[in-house]
Amino acid sequence: MPVSETHLPNLPCRRGKVRDVYDLGDALLLVSTDRISAFDWVLPTPIPDKGRVLTTVSNWWFNFLGVPHHVLATDVDQMPLPAEVDRGPLAGRSVLVKKTSVVPIECVVRGYLAGSGWKEYQQSGTVCGVPLPPGLSESDRLPEPIFTPATKAEQGAHDENITFDRMCEAVGGPLAEELRTRAIDIYRRGAAHAESVGILLADTKFEFGLLPPADSSPSPADFSNLILIDEVMTPDSSRFWPADQYAPGQGQPSFDKQFVRDWLSNCGWDKNSPPPELPADIVAGTRGKYVEACERITGAKFA
C-alpha cells in the first residue's frame, strides 16, 4: 500500500511536499512518503514505493560520497522512537538525522542546458547571471558544470533563481564560496558515477546545514561544521536522462517526474485549481522509472 501520510503519536510533526519531519528533541526523523508534487501542487495520487526509492538512493549517495552529512541511523529498529510507534510502515523510508541550521539556499549545479536555465539562456545568454557560450541548443552539455543558486521558497511558492552575488549578500562571501566549491565537486563525482551506469545527471540541487559550534566560539573559518543534508541526487531533486537516448536540441526522456509533468501539461488541467488524479498507467510508469534509476545508481535490485 502506498504511504501518503504518517501519524506518529505524541511527536511534533511538520509536513513538506514529500517528507514528514518529526522532532525527536536531539534529532529529527525524516520520513519520505509516496506523495509526489508537480507545478507546486502535491498531487492526490501517491506513487507506490517512491519514498523508499528516494531514501535508498540518498543513503547510497551519502555512503558513496564520504562527505560530512546529517544521517545518524537508517535502521528504524535502532531509532529512539516511542514504544507505541508502529515501525513497520517506516522501514526503508526513514532516516534519523542531526539537527542543523539550514543554509537558506538551494545549491543547484547544472551540467546540461535545460529547464529554467534553457529559458533564461534564450533570453540573455546567461543562467543565473553566469554567461555561457553563444549558439547552445536545448539539452546541450555545458563546457563545465555551473553553480546556479536559488532561494528556498516557502511551501506552495516557486524557488527563485538568483545570481552568485545575491547569494553572497544573503549568506556571506566565504560561506557562498565554500558551498559552490562543495556542490560542484559532489556533482562531478555523482555525474561520473551516473554516466558509468547509463544515466546523464543533467542538473541537481543540494542542501547544506551548519552544526551548532561545540562551544560558544564562532563557527570555524574552515567550515568543518558545514554538512550535506536532506536528499542527494534522487529522481526528485535531479534531472536524470538515459544516456542511450540523449539527443541535444530538444527535451529529453527522463527517469524523474518529468513523466508526470508531461501528462499534467497535456490533460487539460489549468495548474491553478486542484490537480486531477493520475491514471493507473502513469502511476505504474512513474514508479517504474524511479525504480530503474534506483537500481542503476545503487547496482542493487530494489525490493
Give the chain's residues under pLDDT 70.
153-158, 213-221
**Residue 193 within a domain:** yes
Domain annotation covers residue 203: yes
Residue 124, domain member (yes or no): yes
The x, y and z cell numbers of residue 21, run together, are: 519531519
Beta strands in the chain (DSSP E): 13-15, 19-23, 27-32, 37-38, 41-42, 71-73, 94-98, 101-102, 105-112, 126-127, 130-131, 141-147, 150-151, 160-161, 199-210, 226-229, 238-242
Domain finish residue from 227, 245, 263: 245
- SS3 of 16-78: the string is CCCEEEEECCCEEEEEECCCCEECCEECCCCCCCHHHHHHHHHHHHHHHHCCCECEEECCHHH
Give me the pLDDT at residue 256, please.
81
pLDDT of res. 102: 94
Q: Hey, is 95 helix, strand or coil? A: strand
Q: Write out pLDDT tens, residues 31-72.
A: 999 999 998 899 999 999 999 999 999 999 999 999 999 999
Helices 280-298 and 258-266 cross at an angle (nearest 10°) of: 160
What's the structural domain count of the chain?
A: 2
Could you say which DSSP state residue 79 is in?
A: S
Predicted model pTM: 0.93
Amino acid at 106: E
Residue 157: the pLDDT is: 54
pLDDT at 213: 67
Q: Is the dihedral of CA 31, 97, 95, 194 positive or negative?
A: positive
Domain assignment present for residue 2? The answer is no
Structural domain range at position 95: 13-99
**What value, to the nearest 5°, has the Cα angle with vertex 52 and ends 3 and 45?**
40
CATH number of 183's domain: 3.30.470.20
**Same domain membership, residue 156 and residue 196:** yes
| pLDDT given at position 36 | 96
The reported pLDDT for the residue numbered 221 is 64
| DSSP 8-state secondary structure symbol assigned to residue 113 | -
